[in-house]
């Protein structure tokens, strides 16, 4: 079937947007408890290589994905120890995490470089829906992990805004001193959610190596992690808006490819920049719009700050 240009754009937006959504969901969990993990790109790479290796050795894709989550979580656990428990500077530690992930993943993935994934993630056609004319095959014939990625923000929103537990984790990112005084275990929740977020970021890496490309190559994430970071800011730290942001930025990222097939005369570098220009624009708009509302659409107040009891 020949796809119209808009159909191709939509398809690519979802294909590229889904791993961004997973990574952004993981990053959001960390940021909501006040931990800014800029090493997200390195964590994705660890997840990509870990998932690929485990799937190859175990001969099973689900085991591979669990491996990817474990690689991501374990890798971020180091970061959590440094920043949450030992209170190191989050930006410096995150930078280290990124570079370490970059190097470590290419090193441990060397034996697997260039091989095809024997047990990739399957596509699921949603019964009935995928036969809808025009959009059915665009929206409802994806990797099953893409549907999971779509549902995760709903789950996060539900827990975060409709449960006692969610109230507690939000308070840890807003005002850890007050949360502590109210009886919330700040260090424990911070560590738990940064690591949990790391698992999701690891999964997003495996989405690429076991799903989109079905092979492992060093540096294969090529900036998607940074876009995930931008999506969190774009969404104003609100889980449901992650979905909009991820697909939008996925679509912008796909413009490169669409421009080529459409024969547009635009340098690809310009198109690659678009998500980041979009993020800056949203930041400016957001700052202007929420200037007078200290409680809405803003970053968690304690984002990036180490917690010391009594300070």
Partner 1 sequence: MTSTDSGNAPLAVQMRGIVKRFDDLVAVNDVDFDLRAGEVHALLGENGAGKTTLMNVLSGLLRPDRGHILLNGEPTRIRSPRDALRRGIGMVHQHYRLVHGFTVAENIHLGWDASPTVLTPARIEERTRELSDRFHLDVDPAARIWQLSVGEQQRVAILRTLARGARILILDEPTAVLAPGETDKLFGMIRQLSSESGRTIVFISHKLEEALEISDRVTVLRGGRHMGTHAAEDCTPRMLSQEMVGRSIEFTRQREPVELGENALVAEALSTTDDRGLPALREVDVTVRAGEIVGVAGVAGNGQRELSETLTGLRALTAGRIQVGGQDLSRAHARDFLAAGVGHIPEDRYASGLVLTESIEHNAILRAFQHPPVRRGPLLIQGAARRFARMLAKTVGLSISDVSAPVRSLSGGNAQRLLTGRELNASARVLVVVHPTRGLDIGAIEEVQQVLLRARATGVAILLISEDLNEVMRLSDRILVLYRGAIVGEFTDPEQFNLEEIGLLMGGALAAAS
Which residue among 127, 133, 263, 310 contacts partner 1 (CB under 8 A)? 310
Count of residues that bind partner 1 according to CB under 8 A? 28
Site string for partner 1, 110-149 (x = CB under 8 A): ----------------------------------------
| Structure-token match 């175990």, residue found | 58
Per rule CB under 8 A, is residue 263 in the interface with partner 1?
no
Interhelix angle 40-58/61-80, rounded to 10 degrees, is 150
Question: What is the separation of C-alpha 184 from the centre of its chain, rounded to a whole number of angstroms?
Answer: 27
| Shortest reach from residue 237's CB to partner 1, in Å | 11
| Shortest reach from residue 16's CB to partner 1, in Å | 34
The whole-angstrom separation of Cα 157 and Cα 153 is 6
| Shortest reach from residue 228's CB to partner 1, in Å | 25
Q: Which is nearer to partner 1, 34 or 109 (CB)?
A: 34
Q: Which is nearer to partner 1, 62 or 158 (CB)?
A: 158
| Structure-token match 């876009």, residue found | 227
3 state SS of 98: helix
Contact status, residue 129 vs residue 150, Cβ threshold 8 Å = no
The whole-angstrom separation of Cα 176 and Cα 83 is 15
Site for partner 1 in 148-187 (CB under 8 A): 162-165, 167-168, 170-171, 174-175, 177-185
Per rule CB under 8 A, is residue 305 in the interface with partner 1?
no
The whole-angstrom separation of Cα 254 and Cα 120 is 22
Site string for partner 1, 270-299 (x = CB under 8 A): ---------------------xxxxx--x-
Q: Which is nearer to partner 1, 177 or 304 (CB)?
A: 177
Per rule CB under 8 A, is residue 301 in the interface with partner 1?
yes
Phi/psi for 143 (5° steps) reads -60, 140
Give bridge partners of residue 215 from the DSSP assignment. 116
Contact status, residue 202 vs residue 41, Cβ threshold 8 Å = no
Which residues bind to partner 1, rule: CB under 8 A? 162-165, 167-168, 170-171, 174-175, 177-185, 291-295, 298, 301, 309-310
């Amino acid at each position: 079937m020949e796809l119209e240009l808009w159909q191709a754009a939509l398809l690519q937006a979802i294909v590229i947007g889904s791993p961004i959504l997973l990574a952004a969901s993981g990053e959001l969990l960390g940021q909501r408890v006040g931990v800014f993990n800029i090493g997200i790109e390195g964590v994705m790479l660890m997840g990509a290589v870990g998932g690929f290796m485990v799937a190859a050795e175990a001969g099973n894709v689900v085991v591979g994905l669990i491996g990817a989550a474990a690689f991501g979580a374990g890798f971020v656990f180091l970061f959590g120890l440094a920043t949450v428990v030992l209170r190191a500077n989050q930006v410096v530690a995150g930078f280290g995490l990124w570079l370490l992930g970059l190097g470590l993943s290419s090193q441990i993935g060397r034996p697997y470089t260039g091989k095809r994934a024997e047990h990739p993630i399957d596509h699921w056609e949603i019964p009935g829906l995928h036969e809808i004319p025009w959009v059915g095959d665009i929206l409802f014939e994806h990797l099953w992990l893409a549907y999971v990625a779509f549902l995760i923000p709903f789950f996060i929103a539900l827990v975060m805004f409709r449960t006692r537990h969610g109230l507690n984790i939000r308070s840890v990112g807003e005002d850890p001193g007050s949360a502590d005084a109210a009886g919330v275990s700040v260090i424990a929740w911070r560590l738990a959610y940064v690591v949990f977020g790391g698992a999701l970021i690891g999964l997003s890496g495996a989405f690429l190596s076991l799903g989109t490309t079905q092979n492992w190559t060093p540096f294969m994430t090529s900036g998607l992690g940074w876009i995930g970071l931008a999506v969190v800011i774009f969404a104003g730290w609100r889980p449901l808006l992650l979905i909009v942001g991820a697909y939008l930025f996925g679509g912008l990222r796909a413009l490169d490819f669409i421009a080529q097939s459409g024969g547009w005369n635009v340098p690809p570098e310009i198109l690659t920049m678009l998500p980041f220009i979009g993020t800056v624009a949203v930041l400016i708009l957001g700052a202007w719009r929420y200037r007078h509302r200290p409680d809405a659409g803003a970053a968690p107040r304690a984002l990036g700050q180490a917690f010391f009891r009594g300070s």
